Amino acid sequence: MKNLSSGQLAPQFQHLTLSGHYVTLDGFSGKKVLLSFFRGAACPFCNLRVRELILNYHVLQQQNIQILAVFHSSAEEIMEYAGKQEAPFPILPDPDLKLYKAYGVESSLLGKLRTMGSLSKVWKVMNSGFFNFRSMSDLNTLPADFIIGEDQRILWAHYGDNFGDHIALADVIA
């Protein structure tokens, strides 16, 4: 699928969350949504971002921004890794990649190489407490973030070019 862009209606979905509830995008009509796509739940870059989202959750809530996090992992894998952080926002397991396909999220060996070539990023992950070898066998999915407006239109689509490339939270808040 081709990348989505600003102004387009966001693809609608109904999806089961990690906590066992169904969430729909149109259920957030009237709020902004930060829809973040991650790699597998064991990914240390992803877990660093989840921690950043948790630490800034109250600020995003004050801005009327709801967070939805999507992992290409099963619920069991998420609970073993990212789920241990007890995020206050919905996490959506998507092992069949249905949401990834709907939003045009891609995988890239080049993106993996870009990540590994950034010694500062690798060093940060190695010292984060999230590093594990399980993530090495995950798909080469690149992250993507979508800021979706109150009218369900995409305000900003960001497709990452390496495993840690997300929209800066300062930009989301602004």
Q: Is residue 13 part of a domain?
A: no
- Residues 6 or more apart whose Cβ sits within 8 Å of residue 114: 161, 162
Q: What is the pLDDT of residue 165?
A: 85
**Amino acid 50: pLDDT:** 95
Instruction: Return d(Cα 103, Cα 54) in angstroms, integer.
Output: 23
Which pLDDT score is estimated for 96? 95
Q: How far apart are CA 159 and CA 167, in angstroms?
A: 9
* Stretch 43-66: mean pLDDT: 93
pLDDT of 140 above 60: yes
Is 10 domain-assigned? no
Nearest to 51 by CA among 137, 153, 125: 125
In this predicted structure, the answer to whether residue 136 has a pLDDT above a threshold of 70 is no
How many domains are there within the chain?
1
- CATH of residue 116's domain is 3.40.30.10
- The boundaries of the domain holding residue 38 are 26-173
86 lies in some domain: yes
Average pLDDT over residues 44-49: 89
The better pLDDT of the pair 129, 99 is held by 99
pLDDT > 90: percent of the chain: 61
DSSP, residue by residue, 100-156: HHHTT--B-HHHHHHHHT-HHHHHHHHTSS---SGGGGS--BPPEEEEE-TTSBEEE
Asked whether residue 1 is domain-assigned, the answer is no
Q: Is residue 134 part of a domain?
A: yes
pLDDT tens digit sequence for 69-112:
999 999 999 998 876 779 999 999 999 999 999 999 987 655 56
